[in-house]
Each structure stands twice: as C-alpha cells, then as structure tokens.
Amino acid sequence: MIQLEGVWRTYRVGDSVVHALRHVSLAIRRGEHVAVIGPSGSGKSTLLHVLGCLDRPTAGRYTFAGREVGTLSDEERSALRQKSIGFVFQFFHLLPRLTAVGNVELPMLFAGVPAQERRQRALAALAAVGLAPRAGHRPDQLSGGECQRVAIARAAVMSPELLLADEPTGNLDRAAAAEVMELLEAMHARGLTLVVVTHDPAIAKRARRVIQMCDGEILEDSGALADEGGRRGAERPEGAPSAPSQSGVGE
C-alpha cells in the first residue's frame, strides 16, 4: 500500500541544511503493524509526516495506494488524509472547547457529514474505545488515557486504511499506555494498517515489524529482512533498488 523510494526530506535552517530523511526506501503492505523506533532527531516523526501526506519529500517518490503523493495538489492530499489516514498524536491534540463527542465529530464536520449521522457515528466510535459514558466531557475533565482514547476514536471515525500514531503512549502511565496499545492493536486486528512511532522498546516489541532509524536513515528493518522482503520486491513494478538503503548500516 505504501512505497517510499529514495525519499529525502531536507530542511534549511539558517545557513545549514538538515537532512531529516536521507534516501529512505520502504514498503508497507496493507494490514501490517509497523513500529518505527530511534533516538529523537532520527527522522522517525518526519517519516510519519511524509507517510501521512502532511509533509512532502524533497526528493524521491512516495506512492500511497497507487497514487504518487508528490504529484497531488494540496486539495487532493487533504482529501486523501480525510478519507484514508488517521492520526494519533503524543499530545492528543483535542480541542479543549469541544466535548469528547464533539472532538470525534471534527473530521466528519469538515467532510460535510450531516449532523445527525455525525453524532451517531461519533458516539459509536466512542463506545468502541469504551468511552460512551464520557461522551459529554471536555478534555480537561478526562484523564490522559481517556484523552488518547478519544483521539483514537477520532482517528478511526472516518474508517481510514492507515493509522499513524506518533508516540501515542509518550504521555501516559503504564496502565493507560497498555490500554491505548490494546485499542490500537484491536483496530489493527480488524484490518487497519498501523504505523507507530515510539522510543519505548516495550511498545516496539508488540509490533510484528520494527524499523529502526538513525540520522534520517533506516538502520534496521526486521520485516524487510524476514518473510516480507521477497514479496515486497515483487510488489514493486519498477523494481527500484531498496536493499542498499536498508542495509546501509552506519553509513
């Protein structure tokens, strides 16, 4: 479903140039559960933003579900995010003035879903994360774990194909983190593609595939080396070289 080929993401900070991603090639199939780990500044968040079409590669190709994202207009990328991609953030990013159900309704609001349907779907999504009784609470009346569950309901309410979670447990205690991870994994079990950025090894271990990043490059990709490597190569029509970047340890 996702294919990165030789992707660079470069920022200019003052006079110096920062390479947040250096020649990253990567393929993620539908239904995978991938953890991206690495120290801070290793480019894992940038990778997530590129995957989520919030950021565009400076160089290289990014193909999402057969469409090359680099060629899409702003408008088309917004539409793609709206329909196909859900985000979960470390700081939840709930709007404090809205209730839990109001926050879950937000993506549908901008998609033009009628009010009644919006409310029904939001309540169903909240019930799915076990927060039906908290639907009328504002974020400041909810615990961190509950806030993140609201955020997950919000990410899931448009039934996306891809769920991107950036340090989803970074601000939670162990118990809440476990709950959140169980929810994310349950959604994955129902067929959603899940990419989790974390620096918690315990969280990373729960994923079937772990990608380790450092200095904007992929150090190690457990999935790529093992069972999926061959299939991924077959998926790629042009047969772009992916091996060098993934084995380029310590370059």
Partner 1 sequence: MRARDLLLFVLGALEGHRLRTALSVAGVAIGIAAVVCLTALGEGARRYVTQEFALLGSNLLIVMPGRVETSGAAPWGGVTHDLTLADYVAVSRLRGVRKTAPLCVATETVKAGERSRPVPVLGTTAEFLEVRRLVVAAGEYLPPGDPTQGGTEMVLGPKVARELFPGASPLGQVVRAGAWRFRVTGVLAPRGRSLGFDLDDVVFIPVQTAMRMFNRRSLFRILVEAQEYGAMAVTRREVLALLAQRHRAEDVTVITQDALMTAFSSILRALTLALVGIASVSLAVAGVGIMNVMLVSVSERRSEIGLLKALGARNRQVLGAFLAEAVVLAAAGGVAGILLGFAAVRLFVNIYPTFPAVPPLWAVVLALTMSVGVGALFGVWPAQRATRLDPVAALSRR
Closest CA to 194 of 177, 182, 212: 182
Closer to partner 1 by Cβ: residue 33 or 118: 118
Decide: residue 58, CB within 10 A, 0-12 exposed, 13-18 middle, 19+ buried. Answer: middle
- Contacts (Cβ under 8 Å, ≥6 apart) of 168: 88, 89, 90, 148, 152, 180, 181, 184, 196, 198
Draw the binding track, 29-48, toward partner 1 (x: CB under 8 A; -: no contact): ----------------xx--
Closest CA to 29 of 233, 240, 239, 249: 233
If binding is defined by CB under 8 A, does position 62 make contact with partner 1? no
SS3 49: helix
Q: Which of 17, 39, 59, 91 binds partner 1 (CB under 8 A)?
A: 91
Binding status of residue 178 toward partner 1 by CB under 8 A:
no
Among 52, 57, 139, 223, binds partner 1 (CB under 8 A): 52
* Residue 228: half-sphere exposure toward Cβ, Cα within 13 Å: 19
Tell me if 97 contacts partner 1 by CB under 8 A.
yes
Among 154, 167, 179, 184, binds partner 1 (CB under 8 A): 154
**Backbone dihedral region for residue 87 (phi beyond 0: left; psi -120 to 50: alpha; all else: beta):** beta
Length of the chain: 251
Number of residues that bind partner 1 (CB under 8 A): 33
Q: Does 49 bind partner 1 (CB under 8 A)?
A: yes
Stretch in the footprint of partner 1 (CB under 8 A) among 91-99, 179-187, 198-206, 241-249: 91-99
Q: Does 149 help bind partner 1 (rule: CB under 8 A)?
A: no
What residues does 138 pair with on adjacent strands? none
14 touching partner 1, by CB under 8 A: no
Amino acid present at 112: G
- List the interface residues with partner 1, window 191-250 (CB under 8 A): none
In this chain, which of 38, 47, 87, 123 binds partner 1, going by CB under 8 A? Answer: 87
Rounded CA-CA distance 240/249 in Å is: 19
Q: Which of 96, 133, 191, 237 binds partner 1 (CB under 8 A)?
A: 96
The contact set with partner 1 (CB under 8 A) reads 45-46, 49, 52, 54-55, 74-75, 78-83, 87, 89, 91, 93, 95-98, 102, 106-107, 109-112, 114-115, 154, 158
